[in-house]
Structure 1
Amino acid sequence: MTVHRVVVLALDGVYPFELGIPSRVFGAAGGRYEVLTCSVDGGPVTTNADFAVTVGHGPEALATADTVLLPPFDTSLLTREPLPGVAEALSAVPAGARIVSICTGAFVLAAAGLLDGRPATTHWAVADVFRSWYPQVPLDPDVLFVDDGDVLTSAGAASGVDVCLHLVRRDHGTALANEVARACVVPPWRDGGQAQYIEHPVPVASANGTSATRQWALENLHEPLSLTELSGHARMSLRTFARRFNEEVGMSPGRWLIQQRVSRARHLLETTDLAVDDIAGQVGFATGTSLREHLHAAIGVSPLAYRRTFRGATASAG
């Protein structure tokens, strides 16, 4: 089994929680990953808490990375230009390595020119600053993470867990990602995006919310599930249901349903030999063609190409 090396570059002002995410998530993947932590000069780094961190490696570790991960640092230290030593350190990263940022780590990548013309995200609270500094980067502050192939960016705090689990899933399939999620006691996939967490009036939780209907929908994905049926199950008018659903989930019911159908289809493509038309029926798409269209829109590949990729990754891991 080939071990994938993840090198975490810790900068002064780093948030301790996010700094520990890669070791925790990748460390639960059964020895498939090795996580090293380095700084730009090999010395200790300050955190945004009342302690510093001594790292085990200097910037030379970046030259050995398969994946480089930049955790966030205190917003008071954000600068438009590259931070001292960072550009030089990143220049050592191998050409084929993946680069991943969490939260304000996206500022480091943008300052280094690594996000020019590429879709990206960062914490919603600093999105306006990011846009003003780096207008050449197409920013989407409404998502938890953006996977642009060899460069991935994620939003604040716990979205670092989301993107690391996504990488495990991308590398080794759903089954292992679910095992890692269980070991870390986190959900393997979170619905919605940052819109759920942006400061706005939040409805008081009650029995009149949409969570029960969402659970019912997940149990009945094979059915067409119109908005009328969903609102009827929730015992709300169409307008009230759509509004409350969007407030709670951060997207429309229709978009959420498609996301759940695609997610279920991906799982079946990875874990079964079912034909594409059969999978489409099980997840509520009318035809195999509809599944192909939605899967391509979501991740840019056909069902068969997706299955080959994950079956190959799983077989290699085994």
Structure 2
Amino acid sequence: MLKKVVLIALPHVAPFEFGVICEVFGVDRSDMGGPVFDFTIGAAEPGPVPTNLGYDMMILNDLSAAADADLIAVPAHDIEGPLHPEVLRVLHEANDRGAWILTVCSGAFTLAKSGLLDGKRATTHWMHADRLAREYPSIEVDADVLFVQDGNIITGAGTSAGIDAALHLVRTELGAAAANVIARRMVVPPQRAGGQAQYIATPLPAEPSDSFAGVTDWMLEHLDRDLPVDELARKALMSSRTFARRFRADLGTTPAAWLNKQRLMRAQQLLEETTLGLEAVATETGFGSAAVMRHHFVKTLQTTPASYRRTFCVREFAS
């Protein structure tokens, strides 16, 4: 179980990405029924650590707490210069024992320098992706996604995508309810798919359509129904082709992929919070059958609905 988290403060660290890890894993939310983590910030050389904004952070702890950590987190930082031997040791030991390793933005370069991303798929901020691919050709760099999980390593893209990557990890280890508590306190979406686009290439319309926002709400209220694009387009008063194009431009994914993700999230909630049978859950969420729902669980979450329920139903969080 994800319990002990160590955040590594590296020279010229980016305060926002550093703060993302602190906010997700360092805040006690037991009053809302959320998880509590044993959270430590450490540095290879304790003392003042410069940020990329011109001020120092005083880091009092070394990296000894990382010896048995369940998660090692590496935020964005200056990608120039060599990797400190102590950081290299901590990362390799964590990987060898199967601990989670999470990077945000340019933090992926630290893992690249360590060799732990060799032969793996990864992402970073789109501005750095070409350089990562060029300097480390053994890494399969995907510049178009919010985060990538490859085994025990999760690499997140820039800024808020680090929140998505961290919440994905919480959801994987502790269930949707735990991730939702954290997201609610942070006032962020509880789940954005890792494959969602990092940025929108097409500018948003100057005046967003109320009917377009309304149709997504309607979709959420009717997840149990078959919702073809033609019907959704009529609800939005658009042609099917325009609707599909606008939907992808606004939300970074196709209507079918967005709908599938919402159905999966709803199924997770029902499996955690109710005793409905698998067929009933599949019917209520629009998957149609337990077999189809199982396919999507295995494909997206690498587990079956039954296993998910056994792991996360009526879970007790530490306080």
Pairwise same-fold verdict (TM > 0.5): yes
**Quick one: structure 1 residues 98 and 164, their matched pair in 2 at CA, closer, same or farther if it must change by over 3 Å?**
same
Match of residue 50, structure 1, among 43, 50, 54: 54
Name the residue aligned to 2:205.
203
Contact 2:6 2:66 (8 Å CA) reproduced: yes
Task: Note the C-alpha offset of 1:148.
Answer: 3.1
Aligned-residue offset at 1:73:
1.1
Per-residue deviation at 1:90?
A: 2.9
Moved more, 139-148 or 54-63: 139-148
SS of equivalent to 2:313:
helix
Q: Is the 8 A contact 2:200 2:249 kept in 1?
A: no
SS at match of 2:144: coil
Pair 1:196–1:108, CA change in 2 (3 A): closer
- Once the 2 structures are TM-superposed, how far is the Cα of residue 92 of structure 1 from its aligned partner? 4.8
Report the number of matched residues: 312
- Offset from partner CA, 1:201-251 (integer Å, 9 cap, x none): 333232266322111111111110100010000000111111101101111
Work out whether 1:289 is the aligned partner of 2:291.
yes
Please say which of residues 141-150 and 84-93 is displaced more in the overlay. 84-93
Instruction: Note if 1:227 corresponds to 2:226.
Output: no
Q: Which residue does 1:217 correspond to in 2?
A: 219
Partner of 1:87: 88
Checking the alignment, whether the CA contact within 8 Å between 2:83 and 2:114 is kept in structure 1 is: no
The answer to whether the Cα contact below 8 Å between 2:2 and 2:70 also exists between their aligned partners in 1 is no
Deviation, structure 1 residue 259: 1.6
Q: What is the distance in 2 between the residues matched to 1:109 and 1:46?
A: 20
The residue type equivalent to 1:10 in the other structure is A
Aligned to 1:172: 174
SS of equivalent residue, structure 2 residue 197: helix
**CA drift at 1:317:** 4.6
Distance 1:123 1:209 in 2: 33
C-alpha distance 206-92 of structure 1, shift in aligned 2 (>3 A): closer
Partner-residue secondary structure (3-state), 2:154: strand
- Alignment partner for residue 42 of structure 2, among 38, 53, 78? 38
Cα deviations by residue, 1:102-152 (Å, 9 ceiling, x for unpaired): 111111112211122222221122111111122222222222222334211
| Partner Cα distance (2:224, 2:2) in 1 | 39
CA contact 2:200–2:252 (8 Å) conserved in 1: no
How high is the sequence identity, in percent, across the aligned residues? 41
Residue in 1 that maps onto 2:138: 136
Contact conserved, 1:196 with 1:249, CA < 8 A, in 2?
A: no
Displacement of 1:164 in angstroms is 2.2
Q: Gapped runs of 5+ residues in structure 1?
A: none
TM-score, length-scaled by structure 2: 0.89
Instruction: Summarize the Cα distance change of 1:135–1:284 in structure 2 as closer, same or farther, 3 Å threshold.
Output: same
1:236–1:48 distance in 2 versus 1, CA, 3 Å? same
* CA shift for structure 1 position 61: 2.8
CA-based RMSD of the aligned residues comes to 2.4
What's the CA shift for 1:191?
Answer: 5.5
Task: Report if aligned partners of 2:92, 2:116 keep a CA contact under 8 Å in 1.
Answer: no
Once residues 204 and 191 of structure 1 are traced to their aligned partners in structure 2, the CA distance between those partners, rounded to angstroms, is 26
SS of residue matched to 2:98 = coil
Quote the Cα distance in structure 2 between the aligned partners of 1:37 and 1:233.
50
Query: CA 1:198–1:253 in 2, change beyond 3 Å: closer, same or farther?
Result: closer
Shift of 1:256: 1.4
Q: Secondary structure at the match of 2:4?
A: strand
Structural mapping, 1:1-318, within 5 Å:
4-26=3-25, 27-30=27-30, 32-74=36-78, 77-78=79-80, 82-85=82-85, 86-93=87-94, 95-190=97-192, 193=195, 195=197, 197-207=199-209, 210-311=212-313, 314-315=315-316, 317=318
Q: Note the alpha carbon deviations across 1:51-99, whole angstroms, 9 max, x for none.
A: 111112113232242211000014xx346xx523332443454723211
- Mean alpha-carbon deviation: is it higher for 295-304 or for 218-227? 295-304
Q: Following the alignment from structure 1 to structure 2, what is the Cα–Cα distance between the partners of residues 64 and 229? A: 53
Normalised to the residue count of structure 1, the TM-score between the two structures is: 0.89
